[in-house]
Structures are given as structure tokens and as C-alpha cells.
Amino acid sequence: MVSGVHPSGDERFGLVDTALTRARYAPDQLIELLHVAQGIFGHLSPDVLHYLARELRLPPSTVFGVATFYSLFTFEPPGDHSCTVCTGTACFVEGADEIVAALQDAHGVVAGHTAPDRRFALSTARCLGSCGMAPVIVVDGAVSGYATVESTLQAVQAVLAEEVAG
């Protein structure tokens, strides 16, 4: 697991921080950072947009304005449960594409889409900034490195089963 630094305890913000550091907190990197954040969270919530605005020292209206201008950004959770697989270079080399293929087969959903019953959404992301732990996945917000086909299928099955049990 990657340890996050956000007061909310949501470790995904640790990945956002890594991306911010890599971008040197440059406001002109906003669109790239929105892509990364959407890859990490599956969508752009107001919380995430406010966080980026604060860290980049931009007015929230600017960040919201840019995000809503581009149709490739989405603001609603894509499904009840989600898995994002990093397909950046390091993760690709370590077999991320096999993980994506296995998830597509197992859940009948194409990467970038949500299953018809909206229970599960599969997405891919550019480098999540933890290449040393490639391949990296995010299942319902929990970030894991050194993922395998088996560990990913199990992690997704576990979150889907929790819902049934709960």
C-alpha cells in the first residue's frame, strides 16, 4: 500500500501529491494533473478539484472551469465499485495489459467503461507516480503495488462480494 498524506486519510491523495511534485506544482500542468487525478479517482469530485486548486495556487473557479470545458473529464463516480489499472510504461512492462485483459474477461466490461448494471467500472490511467511498485492498481480507492492478475481479480471480487454480504 502507498501511504497518503491527505488529512482525510485517503491514500489516493498521496498519488496526487507525487504527480504534483513531478509537475513541480506548475499551474500550467493543470490539464495533465486533472488527467492523472481522474485516473486515480475514476472521476473528478469537488474535493479533488479544490485540492488541486489549493496546491497549484489557482482560483477554484479556474480549475472547475478548465475541468468542465473538456468533455473527457467526468464528475460522477463511474460505478458502485471501480478498478483503475496504471498502464504507464513501467506498469505496462510489468504486465499491466494482462491485468486489464483479465478484468475485462472476468467482468465483461471494456476498459474505460462501466458494466451495464453499474456495479463495476474499469479504467486505465497514465503513470500514477509509483513506478517502483509496478504494476499499480487502485481498487475502490485502495492503492496496491506489485499487482498480479490473480491479486487484482481477488481484490475486485472481494469488494463486489462485500456489497453482497453487506
Catalog residues that contact ligand FES under the rule CB under 6 A.
86, 88-91, 127-131, 134, 136
Q: Which residues contact 109 (CB under 8 A, 6 or more apart)?
A: 103, 115, 120, 121, 122
34: CB partners within 8 A, 6+ apart = 44, 52, 63, 66, 67, 70, 73
Which residue number, 38 or 130, has a Cβ lying nearer to ligand FES? 130
Q: Least separation, in Å, of the C-beta of 36 and ligand FES?
A: 10
Q: Nearer Cβ to ligand FES, position 62 or 89? A: 89
CB of 165 to ligand FES, least distance (A): 31
Q: Are 73 and 45 in contact (CB under 8 A)?
A: no
Least CB distance to ligand FES at residue 11 (A): 14
Q: How far is the CA of 151 from the CAs of 29, 108, 110, 146, in angstroms?
A: 34, 18, 19, 9
Q: Are 137 and 152 in contact (CB under 8 A)?
A: yes
Residue whose CB is less far from ligand FES, 79 or 145 = 145
Nearer to ligand FES, 8 or 89 (CB): 89
CB of 128 to ligand FES, least distance (A): 4
Closest CA to 47 of 37, 36, 32: 37
Closest approach of ligand FES to the CB of residue 142, in Å: 15
- CB of 127 or CB of 156, closer to ligand FES: 127
